[in-house]
Amino acid sequence: MNTLLFGVYGCVLEKMRANSSRPDDQIKAVFVAGATSGFVNSIISGPLELAKIQLQNQTLSQPKFRGPLHCLCWILKNRGITTAYRGIGATILRETPSYGIYFACFELLRRKFSPIRNDSESVSEESGLGLMMAGGLSGIAGWMSTYPADVAKTKIQAQCLELPRKELQYRTTWSTLRLVYKAEGTAGLFRGTFATILRAFPTNAALFLVYAITMRSLEAENPFLQ
């Protein structure tokens, strides 16, 4: 998923940056490239997260699925591709703006934490600590920007796979959000935020640090990547 995410992001950003040199347009380009990569990423992340949630919800004493591939194969064989993409609307609603904000925040924060490199376009030249702080904080910003959509996605995908659509309690993103808000109020739309933040900071801090180290290594071996 991250290979696809960063690959699409890099390709779109490179094409957009070639058409503009103004700083404001640069950040806009980062947002659009991030949002585009998030949209494409939804195609992969939707079914995978459905499998993950189904695996997490099954009882340990009588597990139905041995793993994510077994779960997805069972879904495709018995319920069809539409069930494999259950909750795809909420997934797209979460991933698209979220990754736009994610990459834009990272770009702004890395410049703030590394003022000497303000004009640099390559994360491989930044300091490790600055990258970790920028990555961790942008990860939190990305998650929190569309968190209610993630709540809706989780509730839609957690439902029993064998139920026909007409018997599902949660069907669409908006109807799910209304039901959650009616039952639990605003707090229900942000349930689990502490655990998400606790995961988002170290995960994204490590992600961008490793990304920078990898790019630095590749650029040293191949000057055409610089």
Let me know: does 160 contact 172? Beta carbons within 8 Å: no
Query: Is this prediction's pTM over 0.85?
Result: yes
- Token pair in block for residue 55: 């695996």
pLDDT of 211 reads 86
- Model pLDDT for residues 17-42, shown as the tens digit of each residue: 877 666 557 889 999 999 999 999 99
pLDDT of 2 reads 87
Q: What is the rounded distance in angstroms from the CA atom of residue 45 to the CA atom of residue 145?
A: 18
pLDDT of 224 reads 55
Q: What is the rounded distance in angstroms from the CA atom of residue 207 to the CA atom of residue 139?
A: 10
pLDDT of 118 reads 46
pLDDT of 124 reads 53
Let me know: does 135 contact 207? Beta carbons within 8 Å: yes
Task: Compute φ and ψ for 118, nearest 5 degrees.
Answer: -55, -35
Domains of the chain: 2-219 (1.50.40.10)
Q: What is the rounded distance in angstroms from the CA atom of residue 14 to the CA atom of residue 122?
A: 12
Let me know: does 159 contact 170? Beta carbons within 8 Å: yes
pLDDT of 38 reads 97
Half-sphere exposure of 74 (CA within 13 A, CB side): 14
pLDDT of 121 reads 52
Which residues of the chain, if any, have pLDDT below 50? Answer: 118-119
156-192 burial by CB neighbour count: b if 16+ within 10 A, else e? Answer: bbebebeeeeeeeebbebeebbebbeeeeeeebbeee
Residue 118: Cβ within 10 Å count:
10
